[in-house]
């Protein structure tokens, strides 16, 4: 098992990006959240600019917390049955409305079979909502790869 937790990097490696571009769920935690932290599973994208991006409802508690303390982390792990592999990214976040709907479209196509009429209908309904795009800018990246 390869481990790089003693000295965290501040950017994602090519291996990290290959892993993070799989349709896996990430577990997102905000700095100003409840104690103990309560990570939430979500869809995410490892963007070409090196950030980890997600979309969310503007009224979500995580948005209020991130406006108080704009730091967060996301942990992504391989599924059961595969060798242990996880990547943890922590750092400051930015919150924007620009690009949120485009991100929604990319992630829906990544995580759902949009040929399924039920999923296509869900996406059509989601398109009518307002969304924000959150980008985590890596300040610390830790990983274990088996």
pLDDT tens digits, 35-60: 888 899 999 999 999 999 999 999 99
The answer to whether 90 and 138 are in contact (CB under 8 A) is: yes
Q: Is the pLDDT of residue 78 over 60?
A: yes
d(CA 25, CA 20): 9
Average pLDDT, stretch 74-91?
96
Identify the DSSP state of 99. T
Question: What is the average pLDDT score of the chain?
Answer: 92
Alpha helices in 21-130 (DSSP H): 61-68, 100-111, 117-127
Question: Contact 92/139 with Cβ under 8 angstroms?
Answer: yes
**Global pTM exceeds 0.85:** yes
**How confident is the model over 22-44, as a mean pLDDT?**
92
Q: Is the pLDDT of residue 135 over 80?
A: yes
14: Cβ contacts below 8 Å, ≥ 6 apart: none
Q: What is the rounded distance in angstroms from the CA atom of residue 63 to the CA atom of residue 52?
A: 16
CATH of 2-145, one of 2.60.120.10, 2.30.110.10, 2.40.50.140, 3.40.1440.60: 2.30.110.10
């Amino acid at each position: 098992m390869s481990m790089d937790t003693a000295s965290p990097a501040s950017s994602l490696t090519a291996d990290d990006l290959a892993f993070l571009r799989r349709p896996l769920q990430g577990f997102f935690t905000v700095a100003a959240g409840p104690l103990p932290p309560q990570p939430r599973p979500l869809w995410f994208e490892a963007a070409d600019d090196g950030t980890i991006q997600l979309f969310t409802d503007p009224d979500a508690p995580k948005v209020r917390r991130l406006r108080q303390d704009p730091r967060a982390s996301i942990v992504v792990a391989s599924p059961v049955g595969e060798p242990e592999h996880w990547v943890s990214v922590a750092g400051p976040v930015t919150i924007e409305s620009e690009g949120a709907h485009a991100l929604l479209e990319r992630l829906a196509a990544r995580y759902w079979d949009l040929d399924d009429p039920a999923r296509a209908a869900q996406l059509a309904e989601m398109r009518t909502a307002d969304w924000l795009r959150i980008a985590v800018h890596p300040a610390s990246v830790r990983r274990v790869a088996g």
